[in-house]
Chain A
Amino acid sequence: MTTILDPTNEKKPVQRQLAERNSVIAGRLALLDIAKPRGNILLDTFENLLAERLPDVVINRYSKPTFTKPAPDALRSEIRANNDFVIEALAD
């Protein structure tokens, strides 16, 4: 973690902060398939391993319509509303 001092007049909030990393995965976990070939196989394996290691975690599967474009707003809202963590299969 690096701390810097704001060089501006501080009238705008600071953006682009990465979320704090939780040390424990608990609650609801989203697995997002971006629709790249064989990404579903990777996520299937993840799902099996996670279910084995974290039996109390609820796993929700999602898929983007296409990897070439950002996830639709409705899908992002759905993931944000119903999950605590997201694992995204970025590429094949």
Chain B
Amino acid sequence: MTIDSNNSNSNSNSNNSNSNSNSNNTIKTRLPAFSLKNIDHQAVSFPNNQPTLICFIKKDCPTCELIMPLLAAQLAANDKLLLIGQTSAGNLALHHQYSLPNSLLDDSNLKVSFAFDIEIVPTLIWANESGELVRQEEGFVRDDWQALIQAFGTQANIKWDQYPQWRVGCGSLSVDPDNADRLQAEAENSPLRARKIEIASADDEFEFMFDQGFTDGLPVVPPTPERVIRMLSGTQRDPQEIVAIVPPNMAPASVEKLAINAVLAGCKAEYLPVVIAALEAACTDEFNIHGVMATTMGASPVMVVNGPIRERIGMNMKLSALGQGNRANATIGRALRLAIRNIGGAVPGGTERPTLSNPMKFTMCFAEWQERTPWQPLHVERGFDAQDSVVTLFCMTSGPTLIVDQKSLTAPQLARSMAMSLEHVHHPKAYMSSDCLLVVCPEHLDTLMRDGHYTKQQLRQQIFEASSKPVHQLVEDDQSGMGIPAAKFAQMSEQTKNGQLTKFASADDIHIVVAGSDAGKFSGAFHGWVNGPTGSMVVSKKIQEA
């Protein structure tokens, strides 16, 4: 394959090679400068103020071996060929096998191969005296190589008819998956800017990360540059783009920092867009992640994912949707929590002050089984298109509390039964203070639909009404100091005393999704924290997929 100096990034057909061989093009590609050591450990530099041929080879490439006599003849004819080998041992073997002069250069760390963006060996490059690309050949096409070398002006005695018409090359070691991420991470134009931490070889990296406080108490995956580079491949966003300002330290969270924490959490690259959107949602004034993390009530975000990304990244929305066993569910929720801990500095005993806390602080993320329900999925209810992928954050303080009802047979009966369970949010005598996220299981959904379509709004309204109680039942007494202060109750009018108080300030404070296996009449409910602008409000963000 021929690449000319005008269009070094395009793959042009070898039939065009002759027309590309002129060196008078106006736009030149400047090749990377380098200094490599030869077999005798002497440094050889490029550019060197003279036209130069550069050839990248590796020992175990049959095509490279095939053309070694040709290259040896070229080396013998003049010193304008820089022959670069990709392994030290291979270089040494070729040096002896073909009686080469000492000019075989060692690129065993592959940095020059990477800088030249070499994908195939052999690759033959003609550079002018300024170090600019004139022409490049990948693999071996005899006529093209002959044309290039003759046009370059060599005096070498090469018997071209002894070589086959063409041979494909081999993959360069610099694009081998074992090396590519490392090379990208180490390159001068690496997207990584985070502080590098060297862990001594005698130290244990897992223990080290525990000691540094990077973890939630469980082991984390070491965020090596290679892993972070792979994680960043999950998004097209600039690694240095600031996603959010994370309290309590009000620290800027770049995409890179979030990717590092996603590695810690055990995420795959394709999960990263969800983590990014989740952090954006968490750090809004409405969601108020600072208050959520700091409260003595032990609150934590619950993440609900909607849209096509659920299937693409393999999220669980069915059996055990809220439990363990699914990597995407588990690690996305954990990545958000680790990012808030590590970037924002929300650490138990610091600004995080929960009395008991709860295990949802490790992770809580699941997907809605929106195909199982005739209802609008959560994200569409909240104003997004059905084809959007969206993450929604709800602040919980307890749950999922199980709503066990295997007996109710009609929609109104089951809705009222659910309302009875939700009367216990925070406390049976705590009213108008919180919201809830109701996770309706499929069998309960079927019961709700048994006598015809029962809308989500009907369910919401039924729960709203059925969970209200007479005011006089909610007054503090000898059984419980919770409830309406007796003195305040005494000042109420008789009409108010005999009126009803709703559990939730609004029916809209009852958020509803569908998830779980097809077997079992057990729905679940997450109880909220302080609702409204002084507490935490539900926030949804669209996920920008790569």
Q: Which residue of B lies closest to A15 (CB)?
A: B212
Q: Which residues of A contact B339 (CB under 8 A)?
A: 7
Q: Is A18 a contact partner of B200 (Cβ separation < 8 A)?
A: yes
Q: Give residues of chain A (6-31) contacting chain B, Cβ–Cβ below 8 Å.
A: 6-11, 14-18, 20-21
How far apart sit A1 and B208, CA to CA, in the bound complex (Å)?
12
Q: Is A17 a contact partner of B260 (Cβ separation < 8 A)?
A: no
Q: Is B197 a contact partner of A3 (Cβ separation < 8 A)?
A: yes
Q: Is A6 a contact partner of B196 (Cβ separation < 8 A)?
A: yes
Return B269 CB to nearest CB of chain A, in Å.
15
Are A9 and B197 CB-contacts (below 8 A) given A2-B222, A4-B222, A4-B223? no
A74 in the interface, Cβ–Cβ < 8 Å?
no
B521 in the interface, Cβ–Cβ < 8 Å?
no
Q: Is B200 a contact partner of A17 (Cβ separation < 8 A)?
A: yes
Return B501 CB to nearest CB of chain A, in Å.
45
A81 in the interface, Cβ–Cβ < 8 Å?
no
Return B188 CB to nearest CB of chain A, in Å.
17
Contact pattern, B 292-323, Cβ under 8 Å of A = 1, otherwise 0: 00000000000000000000000000000000
Q: Which residues of A contact B198 (CB under 8 A)?
A: 1-3, 17
Q: Is B196 a contact partner of A7 (Cβ separation < 8 A)?
A: no
Q: Is A4 a contact partner of B200 (Cβ separation < 8 A)?
A: no
Instruction: Categorize the interface residue count of chain A.
Output: 10 to 19
- Please report whether the interface of chain B is mostly helix, strand, loop or mixed according to DSSP: mixed
How far apart sit A22 and B252, CA to CA, in the bound complex (Å)?
39
Q: Which residues of A contact B223 (CB under 8 A)?
A: 4-5, 7
B405 in the interface, Cβ–Cβ < 8 Å?
no
How far apart sit A3 and B208, CA to CA, in the bound complex (Å)?
12
Q: Which residues of B contact A15 (CB under 8 A)?
A: 211-212
Instruction: Categorize the interface residue count of chain B.
Output: 35 or more
B476 in the interface, Cβ–Cβ < 8 Å?
no
How far apart sit A18 and B203, CA to CA, in the bound complex (Å)?
7
Q: Is A3 a contact partner of B225 (Cβ separation < 8 A)?
A: yes
Q: Is B205 a contact partner of A4 (Cβ separation < 8 A)?
A: yes
Q: Is B212 a contact partner of A2 (Cβ separation < 8 A)?
A: no
Q: Which residues of B contact A2 (CB under 8 A)?
A: 198-199, 201, 205, 222, 224
How far apart sit A7 and B275, CA to CA, in the bound complex (Å)?
15
How far apart sit A14 and B197, CA to CA, in the bound complex (Å)?
8
How far apart sit A51 and B343, CA to CA, in the bound complex (Å)?
51
Q: Is A1 a contact partner of B260 (Cβ separation < 8 A)?
A: no
Taking a contact as CB atoms closer than 8 A, the residue among A1, A8, A14, A18 that contacts B342 in the complex is A8
Return A91 CB to nearest CB of chain B, in Å.
19
Taking a contact as CB atoms closer than 8 A, the residue among A6, A11, A20 that contacts B197 in the complex is A6
Q: Is A5 a contact partner of B192 (Cβ separation < 8 A)?
A: yes
How far apart sit A20 and B203, CA to CA, in the bound complex (Å)?
12
Q: Is A7 a contact partner of B224 (Cβ separation < 8 A)?
A: no
Q: Is B196 a contact partner of A3 (Cβ separation < 8 A)?
A: yes
Q: Which residues of B contact A14 (CB under 8 A)?
A: 195, 197, 212
Contact pattern, B 257-298, Cβ under 8 Å of A = 1, otherwise 0: 100110010000000000000000000000000000000000
Are A9 and B343 CB-contacts (below 8 A) given A4-B199, A18-B200? yes
Q: Which residues of B contact A17 (CB under 8 A)?
A: 198-200
Return B144 CB to nearest CB of chain A, in Å.
42
Q: Is B214 a contact partner of A7 (Cβ separation < 8 A)?
A: yes
Q: Is A7 a contact partner of B261 (Cβ separation < 8 A)?
A: yes
Contact pattern, B 236-250, Cβ under 8 Å of A = 1, otherwise 0: 000000000010010
Among A3, A5, A16, the one with the most B-chain Cβ atoms within 10 Å of its Cβ is A5
Q: Is B200 a contact partner of A5 (Cβ separation < 8 A)?
A: no
How far apart sit A2 and B197, CA to CA, in the bound complex (Å)?
8
How far apart sit A48 and B123, CA to CA, in the bound complex (Å)?
61
Q: Which residues of A contact B195 (CB under 8 A)?
A: 5-6, 10, 14
Q: Which residues of A contact B214 (CB under 8 A)?
A: 7-8
B490 in the interface, Cβ–Cβ < 8 Å?
no
Q: Which residue of A lies closest to B221 (CB)?
A: A4
Q: Which residues of A contact B252 (CB under 8 A)?
A: 9
Q: Which residue of B lies closest to A19 (CB)?
A: B200
Q: Which residue of A lies closest to B252 (CB)?
A: A9
How far apart sit A9 and B342, CA to CA, in the bound complex (Å)?
7
Q: Which residues of A contact B264 (CB under 8 A)?
A: 7
B194 in the interface, Cβ–Cβ < 8 Å?
yes
How far apart sit A5 and B228, CA to CA, in the bound complex (Å)?
8
Beyond the given pairs A5-B225, A8-B345, 15 more chain A to chain B contacts, judged by CB atoms under 8 angstroms and listed by A's residue number, are A1-B200, A1-B201, A4-B196, A7-B223, A7-B257, A7-B264, A8-B342, A9-B342, A9-B344, A10-B195, A14-B195, A14-B197, A15-B211, A16-B203, A17-B200
- 26 A-B pairs whose Cβ atoms sit less than 8 Å apart in the complex: A1-B200, A1-B201, A2-B199, A3-B196, A3-B197, A3-B198, A3-B199, A3-B224, A4-B197, A4-B205, A4-B224, A5-B192, A5-B195, A5-B260, A6-B194, A7-B264, A7-B343, A9-B252, A9-B345, A10-B194, A10-B195, A14-B197, A15-B212, A16-B208, A18-B202, A21-B202
